[in-house]
Amino acid sequence: MAGIKALISLSFGGAVGLMFLMLGCALPIYNQYWPLFVLFFYILSPIPYCIARRLVDDTDAMSNACKELAIFLTTGIVVSAFGLPIVFARARLIEWGACALVLTGNTVIFATILGFFLVFGSNDDFSWQQW
67-87 pLDDT, tens digit per residue, is: 899 999 999 999 999 999 999
The dihedral over CA atoms of 46, 49, 55, 61, expressed in degrees to the nearest 10, equals -150
Q: What is the mean pLDDT of the chain?
A: 87
Asked whether the beta carbons of 77 and 39 are under 8 A apart, the reply is: no
| Domains of the chain, residue spans | 1-124
The CA-atom distances, in angstroms, between 124 and each of 45, 87, 121 are: 24, 42, 9
The CA-atom distances, in angstroms, between 128 and each of 15, 50, 117, 120 are: 19, 11, 8, 5
Residue 112 has pLDDT above 60, yes or no: yes
What is the pLDDT, as a whole number, of residue 59? 58
